[in-house]
Amino acid sequence: MRVMHAESVAAALRSQPGPPEVDIETASGPVVLALPEPLGGVPVPGATNPEQLFGSAYAGCMVFAIEHAARRRRIDRAMLEGLRSEASVRIGRARDGTNRLEVDLVLRLPRIGQVAAEELCAFATRFCPFHQAIEGNVAATFTVVGSGEGEGEGEGDGGGAGGRDG
């Protein structure tokens, strides 16, 4: 692997009574993680939880990946206007007693026809390491919502979806 970017973070359990909280140190500044209430946590002002961070990272990564894929396919950036990625992340207990994630990702490309949007998003998964990490490892759905009109709209001269191997 040719490393294009690297980040380091540190996590430490806060010393305090009550539900656990974790201090995260990043190059961009501190983040506080708290357990969601259904898992025994209490609301902590300004805190987030691991599921929110994972969903944010995956949804954001796919937006970057779609923009990159569109450039590679020579699709005018104006066609990405209104692009939205929505992640729903759930944590639950599996039959074997382990905690597991489930993720639903919805990608909305309102200016690109359905078929072209699906092809672009399939190609974009090659450029999102979060998608690659969960593929086959996490119960996930991946839904693409295009404009439903002008099926050829937005296709650059790169053609085809590309997929993982293209």
**What are the mean pLDDT values of the chain's consecutive 10-residue runs (166 residues total)?**
88 82 88 87 88 94 97 97 96 92 96 97 97 94 87 40 32
Tell me: do 87 and 131 sit in the same domain: yes
Q: Is 0.85 surpassed by the pTM of this model?
A: no
Tell me: do 36 and 72 sit in the same domain: no
Complete edge-to-edge strand list for the sheet that includes strand 21-26 = 10-13, 21-26, 29-34
User: How is the chain split among helix, strand and coil, in percent rounded to 5?
Assistant: 30, 25, 45
Tell me: do 141 and 68 sit in the same domain: yes
pLDDT at 164: 31
Contact 119, 155 (CB under 8 A): yes
Tell me: do 28 and 62 sit in the same domain: no
CA 31 to chain centre: 19
Tell me: do 65 and 129 sit in the same domain: yes
Whole-angstrom distance, CA of residue 134 vs CA of residue 128:
10
Q: Which residues are paired to 153 by β-bridges? A: none
Whether residue 36 is contained in a domain is answered as yes
Tell me: do 70 and 38 sit in the same domain: no
Contact 102, 55 (CB under 8 A): no
Whole-angstrom distance, CA of residue 68 vs CA of residue 75:
10
| Structural domain that includes position 31 | 1-44
pLDDT at 21: 83
Q: How many CB atoms lie within 10 A of CB 148?
A: 11
Whether residue 69 is contained in a domain is answered as yes
Find the length of the chain: 166
Domain count, the chain: 2
Contact 24, 10 (CB under 8 A): yes
pLDDT at 156: 39
Whether residue 86 is contained in a domain is answered as yes
Whether residue 165 is contained in a domain is answered as no
Tell me: do 119 and 64 sit in the same domain: yes
Q: What is the CATH number of the domain that holds 66?
A: 3.30.300.20
